[in-house]
Amino acid sequence: MSASSVKILILVAALGAFAAMIAGPWAIADKPGVMEAVVRLDGEWVDRPAPDFELLDVDSGQAASLSSYRGKVVFLNFWASYCVPCRKEMPSMEELVRQYRNRGLVMVAVSLDVEQQDIGKFMDEFLPNQQSQMTVLWDPNSQSSAAMGTELIPETYIIDRDGQIVARFVSDYDWTRPEVKQLIEALL
């Protein structure tokens, strides 16, 4: 085999490897509506594995890990009771989880409040005499938000059934918008 043939083979192999590397992470984008919904919601396309963490479930008092939700679509939200934009988006989050929880959506709301009683007080004000359908976890040291790369609150991550972070949304949103439903339904 000549030197030029070897160079061509190496070039073809390198291009093939590069193409596979680029195409692989975008497999989820092939699902109709996912990428379009993320863009229309002014979200950030992420496509990386979600780091695992374990936190206290406020309702059960038991430890809960993010990896325990594998096989479901996870709506992961970081918030705090003192955060006005967090309070603003909570009603639309509750409406979204009530609509899709029986179809495979889990909503995990991680409170970054320093005092656990602040969470209970807020939830009682938010849903008087009702139980939220969200799983509320407590992270007073913000370790889980640091592992995720959270910069501001509220901040939301949408994680697919395989544990890949699909998108990130910073600031408050109306989670009842049609684009949100398009995104969730495409992943379910």
Question: How confident is the model over 55-94, as pLDDT tens digits?
Answer: 999 999 999 999 999 999 999 999 999 999 999 999 999 9
Q: Identify whether residues 5 and 57 lie together within a single domain.
A: no
Paired sense of beta strands 164-170 and 44-49, if any? antiparallel
The percent of residues above 90 in pLDDT, for the chain, comes to 76
* Domain span holding position 153: 31-187
pTM: 0.84
Question: How confident is the model over 87-127, as pLDDT tens digits?
Answer: 999 999 999 999 999 999 999 999 999 999 999 999 999 88
Q: What is the dihedral of CA 126, 112, 52, 181, to 10 degrees?
A: 40
Contact between residue 76 and residue 105 where contact means Cβ atoms under 8 Å apart: no
Question: How confident is the model over 5-24, as pLDDT tens digits?
Answer: 545 655 554 454 444 444 44
Q: Which residues contact 10 (CB under 8 A, 6 or more apart)?
A: none
Q: Identify whether residues 118 and 46 lie together within a single domain.
A: yes
Residue 123 CA, chain-centre distance (Å), reads 21
Q: Identify whether residues 144 and 82 lie together within a single domain.
A: yes
